[in-house]
Amino acid sequence: MDTPLSIKWDDDEPASESRIVIPVSPTPAIPKSIGVILILGGLFALLSGGANLIEASSDASLDPSSVEPLAQQIRSGGENITAEEIVEFYDELESRGYYLYLGLFEFTAGICLIVGGFFLFRLNKIGIRIGATGGILLIADAIVGAYFLSTTDAPSELLTLTLNILQGLVTMCGLFCTILPFVPLMFAGANQALKKETLEEKFRRSISESE
């Protein structure tokens, strides 16, 4: 007779767990696009900072005729102001270092944004920190500018409001440029693209493993 078939269950044997792993393909387009945006923002910051530094180093005073259209706009808003008063206000800001500080902050921020954008375009993760540093410098630039405007006597509230609006725009740009470099970390494919090893890194790793 054939031996009866018996089935034995081993309760002590752990049940095998099967996991479905979905491979994530690198998507370099996201960090590359962000890198291009940071480079463009850095160019604008460089231009603005350079203009402020030129203004700070210039000894010549503004020509009242160049700010006459601004004076007319303010007078149409109901405030009595002359172009000469606007020039005196700008000269006061310049004497206190307004343009110098803004120029230094914006110029340095522009360099950081361009360098950070270049590294992100090359899929190097260090671009995140450098780009975010540029955004933080723009925020500091706006804070310093707002401080100078609040502590300088202005001949018109509308004139101060206009300059404060510009500082607010700089603040928004700073926040945007601070958050934007971290966007690739929110997407698995973009994060995977930033983790890609370069040939130099592979060579160094192979040498360290052989040792």
Kindly report, residue by residue over 166-177, the tens digit of the pLDDT: 888 889 999 999
Q: pLDDT band for 58, please (50, 70, 90 cuts).
A: confident
Question: In sequence order, what E strands does the chain have?
Answer: none
- Any long-range contacts for 166-170 (C-beta under 8 Å, 24+ apart)? 167/142, 168/142, 170/138, 170/141, 170/142, 170/145
Give which of 51, 35, 40 is closest to 173, Cα–Cα: 40
Over residues 73-85, the pLDDT tens digits come to 888 878 888 888 8
Give the pLDDT band of residue 199 (cuts 50, 70, 90).
Answer: very low
Side chain identity at residue 12, one-letter code: D
CA 39 – CA 114 distance, rounded (Å): 4
State the Cα torsion 111-117-121-125 to the nearest 10°. Answer: 100
Nearest one of 168, 147, 141 to 93, comparing CA atoms: 147
